[in-house]
Amino acid sequence: MPSISFEDVSYAYVDNNEAFLALEHIDLKIADGEFVCLVGHSGCGKSTMLNLLAGLARPTQGRVSIDGLPVEGPGPDRSIVFQSYSLFPWQTALGNVMFSFRQTNKGVSREEARHRATELLAQVGIEAAANRYPFQLSGGMRQRVAIARALAVDAPVMLLDEPFGALDPMIRRKLQELLLELWVDGGCCKTAVFVTHDIDEALILADRIVFMEPKHIVRSFDLPRTRTRSVDEVAADPQVQDVKREVLRLFDATSPEREAVL
Ligand code: ADP
Ligand code: MG
């Protein structure tokens, strides 16, 4: 499975000839098979980091690479679930997932693709909506089709930008478990970069939490890799709870409202 590296990466958005620096001198290495959660207040550059990894943007300075090769565009080695991720409106939920499956599994029969896509829709809990078109689905259901579609790609790198944000807690918990199952993938972990606002979600999923403030990485927190990633274990593990306290302190210390008050 691939490793990821950001070396002295800066990124500026340019609008109407005005440049806005969103990332400045970022250095980050993510090991093979590591699950990293990026956390931090809105606007600190988390999505920009993922866009660079997805190949949807190129660094203004520095280098983003996967297994030593610079990222030059999107590729089948990376599956993405982004907030703005959209489905093909002219295909049903099933059609959308089948399409992704066949993209990365060339030569697979239509029947096999249908079978696998149906399985994935069942795993995200919406098999009953397989034949509906995106306009006939609620926002949460569309998001679950998008997740099933990313899972169908089965790429060695997974990039997820607040994928479970709009879902209710029960479904969210189920999908977190499903994601962990797919990440482990028979003992050989994929490399995952997951953006979330939810500290508890990060504590369950991550091997490492990377905390950002605007433009910069502030700190990294390692979590015990060997722990069981269940809600109960996370709540009971003193080492994990120490990390939680420290991350919450950082959230507080970097709050934009705080600056306004001080
Ligand atoms: P996050 O995902 O952490 O909320 P983003 O990576 O989306 O943050 O944005 C980082 C910064 O870049 C923010 O200040 C945001 O306003 C700015 N930004 C994001 N997209 C654009 C854009 N297309 N043009 C100009 N500025 C942008
Ligand atoms: Mg974002």
Report percent pLDDT > 90 for the chain. 63
Q: Which pLDDT score is estimated for 137?
A: 92
**Least reliable range by pLDDT among 59-63, 118-122, 200-204, 230-234:** 230-234
Ligand 1, from 20, 39, 53, 58: best to mutate by most atoms within 8 Å of Cβ? 20
Same domain for 124 and 31: no
In the chain, how many domains are there? 2
Ligand 1 atom nearest to CA at 51 = 6
Residue nearest to atom 7 of ligand 1 (CA): 47
Cα(4)–Cα(95) distance, rounded to whole angstroms?
Answer: 32
CATH of the domain at 198: 3.40.50.300
Residue nearest to atom 24 of ligand 1 (CA): 13
Model confidence over 166-196: pLDDT tens digits?
788 888 888 888 888 888 876 778 899 999 9
Instruction: Choose the final residue of a domain: 154, 179, 200.
Output: 154
Same domain for 248 and 213: yes
Same domain for 134 and 19: no
Binding pocket residue ranges, ligand 1, CB within 6 Å? 13, 15, 20, 22, 42-48
List the domain range (segments joined by +) for residue 147.
86-154
Model confidence over 216-227: pLDDT tens digits?
999 999 998 777
Same domain for 162 and 42: yes
Q: Which residues pair with 37 in a beta bridge?
A: 194, 209
Same domain for 49 and 110: no
Q: Which residues contact 239 (CB under 8 A, 6 or more apart)?
A: 223, 224
| Ligand of minimum distance to the alpha carbon of 41 | 1
Tell how far the Cα of 84 is from the centroid of ligand 2, in angstroms: 10
Question: In this structure, are residues 205 and 35 in contact, taking their beta carbons and an 8 Å threshold?
Answer: yes
Same domain for 133 and 19: no
Same domain for 162 and 142: no
Residue nearest to atom 12 of ligand 1 (CA): 22
Same domain for 162 and 60: yes
Residue nearest to atom 14 of ligand 1 (CA): 43
Same domain for 47 and 121: no
Same domain for 255 and 182: yes
Model confidence over 22-66: pLDDT tens digits?
999 999 999 999 999 999 999 999 999 999 999 999 999 999 999
Instruction: Choose the final residue of a domain: 134, 154, 174.
Output: 154
Same domain for 163 and 55: yes
Model confidence over 66-108: pLDDT tens digits?
999 999 999 889 988 886 667 899 999 999 999 988 888 888 9
Same domain for 102 and 120: yes
